[in-house]
Amino acid sequence: MGFWRSSARQARKWDWRFLARIAFAVALGNGGLPWSAEAAPSDLAEMIHVTPPAFDGALRNPLMGLTGRVLGHSDWESLTHDYIGWREIEGSQNDGVVKIKAYCDNAWKGLPEQNVKVIPRVYLEYPGKPDAWPDGLRAGDYSSPEFQLRLRRFIEKLGEAWNTDPRVAFIELGIFGKWGEHHSPAPSAELQRLAGEAFARAFPDKRVSVRQAWAEFVGHGFGEYWDSFAHWDQMADNGREIAALNEKTGLFERTYIGGEVAYDWGNWRIQPGESPTASLADPRHLEFIINTVRWVHCTQLEWIGDYERQDGRAVAGAAQLQKALGYRFVLDDVSYSSSVGDDDELKIELRVRNLGSAPFYYRWPLEASLLDPRDQHVVWKETFSGVDLREWQPGRGWTSPILTSPSGSNPGEPARATWPDSGAVGWSQPPIEHCVQGVFKPRLPKGRYLLALEILDPAGMVPSVCFATTQYLKGGRHPVGLVGFGGVCGRKLPEAFRFDDQFSDRTLHYEVSQVAKSATRLTSSTAKERLP
């Protein structure tokens, strides 16, 4: 374990370096310097520049990606969807918030330990399931004053239960119609106004999404859940409307675009394909879906994660889709002070690009830490001041699909979408590089320490979001170099340094407690800067 770890399958390959690693660790532990006895004056003022090697694989990062309907089916799930019948969490109007919290504690048990968060949606009607209308309301009666009063109070309870709950990633404004999808029946303009205002008040610290954000529940900056994502019959209307809304208002910059890939109506066999497995295994479908993800800046998708895990092509396709969804932070360059004297400062500068399709939507902290190189325990850590991950925006203006009207005698048939060849698609405005600077004053004994970077989940202030670099340590920290103290000069990481595999690390987690909930609120948007 630790600084000189080597996996079992690679042990034989690295045995010849083992004694060198031990010698290096012992030298560090004794304050000795393998390269020089003391730092020259010029060394002390130097900044060391490194370019962390990029990690080419998919990342299981929080608040993005393939979203589970049954948790644990996919390798990539950091999100799971929960359809909740109203009466499950409020049967009587006298039921308090405690009943909602009790449901969540039971249904979401174990999620923090798995670093998984929830997208809940409350419904009243779900075909094939029992009636979810609560006591005191007549099934199907969306228009009565009694329903509207009860709805307003219910949403207030949801806000009290979920707004600062770190297990909740985003909220889908369901309630109305079949599956809570705002159709069959659709909510009236008055219900849209009432529910929109109530959800906006109840969830100032969460991102809320609706179906057809360009047309319904407008005026609150809600995000979008497209319930038939990349469907052959909806590209010319829903897809184009979402893209236009992004272009006109910059919606994706402030809140998330998500949804599900449908496999049960219309021409789904043409696109997105016969099944989740077909969508991911067949390049014709996979490229179509990934282009759509880029086009509308999509963060998460469900249903498509129900692929056959024994199908190698589908597994590989799932990784490609995961890599396209949501955010993807790449470290282009990191610079740091070589040495820190008694009265000196540790200066760190990093340059980051978001090569994903969407931003990160909450203000989580970026932290620098110094580790004891012998066992990698943290001896100092501090968060960067003034850093807002939400500003790390992706590229803009992905190539639009070619829309053509179908031939035939049906004038109401929607236009069909096709994408240019893969070599002819891309961002019209590529992602820009963001410069982050931090100045710190750690005071440590003489020696050389491992400098690492990490993005924290405010729920517990523990490492959670991974950068797309191979320089990774189990537990979520990214080592970038060595910093010297007490006249010792720093260095880049030695060639023998052993990194860990991000994919196999299942130690990342967050904490659910009153302290964690308070931290979540403190690190989310303040009232002054809160995004719509």
Same domain, 364 and 254: no
The pLDDT value recorded for residue 415 is 84
The model's pLDDT over 399-441, given as tens digits with 9 standing for 90+, comes to 999 998 876 656 667 788 999 887 899 999 999 999 999 999 9
| Residue 35's pLDDT band (cuts 50, 70, 90) | very low
Alpha helix stretches (DSSP H) within 82-208: 86-89, 97-107, 111-114, 145-162, 189-202
**Structure tokens given for 321:** 């889709």
Final residue belonging to a domain, choices 324, 341, 360: 324
List the one residue out of 482, 500, 499 whose CA is nearest residue 491: 482
Q: Would residue 69 count as lying in a domain?
A: yes
Same domain, 344 and 308: no
Residue listed under structure tokens 């980051």? 352
Q: Would residue 144 count as lying in a domain?
A: yes
Is residue 38 over pLDDT 50?
no
List the one residue out of 361, 364, 329 whose CA is nearest residue 461: 364
Cα separation, 78 vs 115, in Å, equals 6
Final residue belonging to a domain, choices 279, 300, 324: 324
Same domain, 10 and 77: no
Same domain, 316 and 356: no
List the one residue out of 13, 6, 21 whose CA is nearest residue 494: 21
Same domain, 387 and 495: yes
In what helix (H) or strand (E) does residue 68 lie, and over which residues does it extend?
Answer: strand 65-68
Is residue 172 over pLDDT 80?
yes
Q: Would residue 463 count as lying in a domain?
A: yes
Please, are residues 361 and 394 in contact by the beta-carbon 8 Å criterion? no
Cα separation, 135 vs 97, in Å, equals 16
pLDDT above 70: percentage of residues in the chain:
86
**Mean pLDDT on 390-394:** 98
Tell me which of 327 and 530 has the higher pLDDT.
Answer: 327
Q: Which residues pair with 510 in a beta bridge?
A: none
Distances (CA, A) of 248 to 259, 295, 413: 21, 14, 26
Q: Mean pLDDT of all residues in the chain?
A: 89
Same domain, 123 and 12: no
The model's pLDDT over 484-524, given as tens digits with 9 standing for 90+, comes to 999 999 999 999 999 999 999 999 999 998 544 444 443 44
Tell me which of 459 and 45 has the higher pLDDT.
Answer: 459
The pLDDT value recorded for residue 71 is 63
Same domain, 319 and 332: no
Domain containing 374: what range? 2-57+328-394+430-507
Is residue 333 over pLDDT 70?
yes
pLDDT above 90: percentage of residues in the chain:
82
Cα separation, 506 vs 496, in Å, equals 25
Is residue 4 over pLDDT 60?
no
The pLDDT value recorded for residue 513 is 80
Same domain, 317 and 347: no
What are phi and psi for residue 380, nearest 5 degrees? -160, 145
Same domain, 225 and 127: yes
Residue listed under structure tokens 């932070």? 329
- Give the CATH number of the domain where residue 383 resides: 2.60.40.10
Give the range among 11-20, 206-215, 325-334 with minimum mean pLDDT: 11-20
The pLDDT value recorded for residue 408 is 62
Q: Would residue 249 count as lying in a domain?
A: yes
Q: Count other Cβ atoms within 10 Å, centred on residue 2.
A: 15
Phi-psi region of 90 (alpha: psi -120 to 50; beta: other; left: phi over 0): beta
- Give the CATH number of the domain where residue 164 resides: 3.20.20.80
| Residue 21's pLDDT band (cuts 50, 70, 90) | very low
109's CB contacts (< 8 A; 6+ apart) are none
- Respond yes or no on whether the N-terminal peptide bond of residue 411 is cis (omega within 30° of 0): no
Is residue 25 over pLDDT 70?
no
Q: Would residue 178 count as lying in a domain?
A: yes
499's CB contacts (< 8 A; 6+ apart) are 470, 471, 472, 473, 479
The pLDDT value recorded for residue 443 is 95
Same domain, 293 and 262: yes
Final residue belonging to a domain, choices 274, 299, 324: 324
Same domain, 481 and 338: yes
Q: Would residue 523 count as lying in a domain?
A: no
Q: Would residue 125 count as lying in a domain?
A: yes
Residue listed under structure tokens 């190189």? 373
The total number of structural domains that make up the chain: 2
Same domain, 78 and 180: yes
Cα separation, 111 vs 320, in Å, equals 25
The model's pTM is 0.89
Please, are residues 315 and 309 in contact by the beta-carbon 8 Å criterion? yes
The pLDDT value recorded for residue 421 is 83
Give the range among 151-155, 255-259, 265-269, 417-421 with minimum mean pLDDT: 417-421
Distances (CA, A) of 208 to 173, 221, 378, 407: 7, 9, 37, 39
Q: Would residue 473 count as lying in a domain?
A: yes
3-state secondary structure (DSSP) of residue 436: strand
